[in-house]
Structure 1
Amino acid sequence: MDWSVDARLALALPVSLVAIALTGRLVKKRDGTGAPLPPGPPPLPVIGNILSLDSKEPWNTYAEWGAIYGDLIYARFLNQDVVIVNTEKMAKDLMEKRSQTYSDRPYIATLEPFGWSFNFAFMPYGDQWRLCRRLFHQTFRAEAALNFLPMQLGKAHQLLTNLIDDAGSYIAHMETFSASVAMSAVYDYDTAPRDDPLVAVVNKALLLGTKVMTPERAIVLGAFPFLTWLPAWFPGATIKRDAVLSRECVTEMIERPCEYVRKRMTSGTAAPSLVSNLFQRIENEAPDRADQLQNALRQVSSTTFTIAQTSSVLLVFVLAMVLNPTVQERAREELDMVVGRDRLPGFEDRASLPYIEAVVRETFRWQPVAPLGVPHAAMTSDVYEGYFIPKGMFVIFMTRGMSRDEEVYPNASEFKPDRWLDASGQLADTDPPDFIYGFGRRICPGRHLANASVWAAIVSMLATFKFLKAKDDQGRDVDFVPTFTVGLARHPDPFPLRILPRSSDLDREKLAQMIRSSV
């Protein structure tokens, strides 16, 4: 396992002190009927299984354990007991059929120090979470999300314009697209096509958060909370320094967009939006209720940035296209047949483009951007398939494992849109990979917005661009092995590619004409 300086520092403490704190966890728990914990790797005294864990890609370790111990696994990392669920069937059994037991969130030690406790996706199950969920659902439920489709398509067209102007900055353009959709939906903020100051604030906070909010740090901080008490100048105190920077960035991400709405409301130029509507509602509430709504406003609005982050999915799509050129060609053939080449596709075409729908589904499944999802906690003790799951236990629903289930997705490591189609080329009667959004009461409430954004961007890019391997000095394709970021989210690292207009005569003027023809 690759250890950070902070982790090495923590484990260098006198083992006797740790052993006293953890003695109660060394005995395998059973319920009153004698049901054992699920099987799993034998833990070492005090430190448990943490030395066996691949800290950069823990899902690989979980997959190895699954091959040995089965689809329900128990492990212990320092003082944290964990149950790992590897199949979609088990996840649905627990999260949907027993939602009253598994809808809670565990204590995650990095949230408060790094400024991420605002995110109601991590909030414990209770009244405040229900309020946030209700406010969010009013704006982003399936029927209401239809109102955002024209805006999402317009942002996708702006993405095309940015790509034709500067294809080399494709990562920044996709981040701008993602943030722009969220900011328009929540704040009625119309972002600049490039280098928007508020988009920069949001992306900085999100990028830092995905890097520093790692499972490893959460485990270490949970066992050794004093690491956040160390002064930032202390040798090895990278957790403290990262926490200070993360809190500053998150505070700016929360406050600056809300301040924008306040100023527009004061000047009388604010249009209806989730935030402006809530501000007006707060003015008419009693003080105690107003304070509760004020907190919920910040939690709901800023959570949208993390829920609606589609740039990681779009980077996965681009990687898949570079590695699978025949998929690109087949998708474009379908576009030519249904839409033609004089206009861009719109949502009215979606039902007539089953192969592109299959590409979208396969993009979500092939490389899930949240391989471990968000951990749950058992609200009461439970027995499932003869195994005891104690109250408060961390429960990890391994999205990555579900996406690699060979019984459900043969040759799962391959990008194969055809797996979603029947013999006639239409969408098969197969459930889409909605497990990427979570399960039960804690399923992602922004999934309708995210799905529409991804479809709009993918279909628009396929209609206008080709994604190819880069060429070396001799004109040969540059082969590469993809690598991925590590942290709270996962997406491909930059890789060598060329983004070319699909037609040699496609320039900014012609693209603008196609966009006008599509409105």
Structure 2
Amino acid sequence: MAYYSTHPISLIAFCVVSTGTFWLTRYIWKGLSGGPKAPLPPGPRLLPVVGSLFDIDVSEPWLAYTRWAKKYGDIVHFRVLGKDHIVINSETVARELLEKRSKSYSDRPSVATNHLFGLDFNTALLPYSDRWKSHRKIYHQTFRPESVVVYRAVQFQKAHILLLSLLESPDNFMMHLQTYGASIIMSIVYGYEITHRNDPVVANIQKVIHLAAEGLTPERAALLGTFPFLRNIPAWFPGAAFKRNALVCQKLAPEVFDAPIEHAKKNMVDPSPSTTSAESLVSQILAQAPDQKTLQAMKDCAASSFLESTLSIFVLAMVLHPDVQERAQMEIDTVIGEGRLPDSNDRPSLPYVEALFRELFRWHTAVPLSVPTVAAHEDVFNGYLIPKGAIITTNQWAMAYDEDRYPDPYRFHPERHLTEDGKLATDSGAPAFGFGRRICPGRYIGDASVWIALASMLALFRFEKAVDSEGQKVEIEPVFVTGVARHLLAFPCSIKSRSAEREELVRSCFDGATNKDV
């Protein structure tokens, strides 16, 4: 049986506490509401304290966001551990907010995981500041459309090295694609020439990319921000894999970003015949005798590449869709012939290959969510309130799988990007590089590097399902490692040359190369 005290002091205390609670609640509510305001965008249920945390799979949050998009619309609000989140699910809304109102949506949130993983200096993660502006200026001067033309020779050479590697050891195709992506960036930015597919610099880059992709999700950051003690959990503690990964990333990050800078400086003094550092971005900056601040900016601006993710999905698509592969190869054979390989000048003459390229960025997009920004101040859009400090995420997955724009979106269908007369449709591609001031500055390099690689591979190889010891085709069940980005794990397939003349052309360019070379 419960007993309640009737002592006067107890009653007074109860009244004081009750009255105080009432007025405190009213004061807080009044302070938060600040008078009549627009409503928040619609969204899922909000549980006390945790908000919508339990409705999100932190390994694939874009799937929950896309479900919400179908139910609530193009702009969705939810809250995780007291933090407001806004998810943008349509390209139209993304352009309205992130481009037309870019000044309000260009800052980055302060994320605990960035510092924990030793990556808070990276350009993509920097807050909107003078430091970020200096990095952006360097990128835009070097990687604007008219400037990247000078890098075509590098991309062409690396694509041919990729072809040779696939001829020599096709079973290691995932490793070759990783090396291709890293070699493009390392050559253009640092003049560092990768000479071996087990290059330690490439290995470290891949480790940092994969650790960051898994660890730097906003949902995981929210947990660490709300419960700071989790950052101090010992690495040996059960369930603290994130802490162990963070320590590894902290150690590797300086090596990844500093060692290539030192390589470029050394080769300016004593250039090696096998390097191109004299033309690299870093060598150009160093030749201008920059101060320490500029040099530090260049270290911080070091790029990492997700090219291999997109190209591995290309191989998967070709294996699963031989009809698409055959049509693209027929176009290449008709336009280019047998005597050479495609180059960037052929791109306008290959509309079906271009349609395939666009569909590749849409289907199984490698980067489903943008790196989040933060609302610099309170805003109202389409009658909805966007609170100051809200985390803004663009859901590129939902945009790529918009059934109104892309009927039967899970089907790999390049024809959706063509008109009835076989010409390229206008603006049919799904966004893959972000929006506004925070759009990927290396998008033109990435675009051209993916295109020359896939066009070259289509010209030389036939991609098919692998065959087991009993002569049966091996079915593929794609498995992705998820996080900030999606990485396709290796799968069995057959990659064979389909043109003896083109094969000889590739081999003749690299006489003396072995299967240990890139």
Moved more, 67-76 or 144-153: 67-76
Q: 2:390 is matched with which residue? A: 393
Q: Residues of 1 paired with 2:486 and 2:454: CA distance?
A: 19
Match of 2:7 in 1: none
Correspondence for 2:344: 347
Alpha-carbon distance in 1 for matches of 2:385, 2:283 = 47
Following superposition, the deviation at residue 452 of structure 1 comes to 0.3
Distance 1:32 1:515 in 2: 73
- 2:42 matched to which residue of 1? 39
Equivalents in 1 of 2:190, 2:509: separation in Å? 29
1:139 aligns with 2:142: yes
Who is 1:208 aligned against?
A: 211
Aligned mate of 1:223, from 222, 226, 250:
226
* CA distance 1:403–1:143, change in 2 (3 Å): same
* CA separation of 1:180 and 1:25: change in aligned 2, threshold 3 A: farther
Identity across the alignment (%): 43
Write the letter of the residue equivalent to 1:387.
Y
- Quote the offset at 1:509 in angstroms: 4.1
- Deviation per CA, 1:290-332: give whole Å up to 9, x if none: 34213211111x2x12xx4311110111111111110000001
Aligned to 1:319: 316
Question: What is the identity, as a one-letter code, of the residue corresponding to 2:406?
Answer: Y
Per the alignment, residue 487 of structure 1 pairs with 483
- Asked if structure 1 preserves the Cα contact closer than 8 Å seen for 2:58 and 2:220, the reply is no
Partner of 1:437, secondary structure, is: coil
8 Å contact 2:310–2:450 — kept in the other structure?
A: yes
Aligned to 2:256: 253
SS at match of 2:432: helix
Spell out, residue by residue over 1:339-372, the C-alpha distance to the aligned partner (whole angstroms, 9 max, x if none): 1122111111111000001111110111111101
Contact 2:158 2:184 in 1 (8 A): yes
1:87 equivalenced with 2:57 (yes/no) = no
Shift of 1:440: 1.2
Q: Give me the TM-score of the superposition, normalised by structure 2.
A: 0.88
Match of 1:273 among 274, 280, 283: 280
Q: In 2, distance between residues paired with 1:220 and 1:128? A: 28
Shift of residue 506, structure 1, vs aligned partner? 6.7
Which residue number in structure 2 is paired with residue 461 of structure 1? 457
Secondary structure at the counterpart of residue 483 of structure 2: coil
1:174 match: secondary structure: helix
1: CA distance, partners of 2:71 / 2:311: 34
Partner of residue 118, structure 1 = 121
Equivalent residue number for residue 419 of structure 1: 416
Report the counterpart of residue 11 of structure 1 in structure 2.
none
Q: Which has the larger radius of gyration?
A: 2
Distance 2:450 2:157 in 1: 13
- Aligned residue for 2:328, secondary structure, equals helix
SS in 1 for 2:487: coil
Alpha-carbon deviations, 1:122-180, whole Å to 9, x = none? 11112111100001111111111000011101100000000000001111101110011
Deviations 1:234-287 (A, max 9, x none): 34332322211111111110111111112223436651422123234345xxxx
Separation of aligned partners in 2, 1:61 and 1:165: 43
Deviation at 1:223, TM superposition (A): 1.4
C-alpha distance in 2 between matches for 1:225 and 1:369: 31
Q: Does 1:65 align with 2:68?
A: yes
In structure 2, list runs of 5 or more residues that go unmatched.
1-24, 512-518
Amino acid at match of 1:468: E
Give the aligned partner of residue 190 of structure 1.
Answer: 193
Distance in 2, Cα, partners of 1:337 & 1:314: 24
Mapped to 1, the partners of 2:297 and 2:453 lie a distance apart of 30
1:415-448 residue CA offsets vs partner (Å, 9 max, x unmatched) = 1111111111111223433x21111111111000
Shift in Å at residue 467 of structure 1?
A: 1.2
User: Secondary structure of the residue that 1:500 maps to in structure 2?
Assistant: strand
Aligned residue number for residue 507 of structure 2? 512
Question: Quick one: distance in 2 between partners of 1:138 and 1:495?
Answer: 40
My pick for the range that moved more, 352-361 or 255-264, is: 255-264
What is the CA distance between 1:472 and its match in structure 2? 2.8
How many Å separate the matches in 1 of 2:351 and 2:123?
35
**Contact residue 162 and residue 193 of structure 1 kept, 8 A:** no
Give the corresponding residue for 1:78: 81
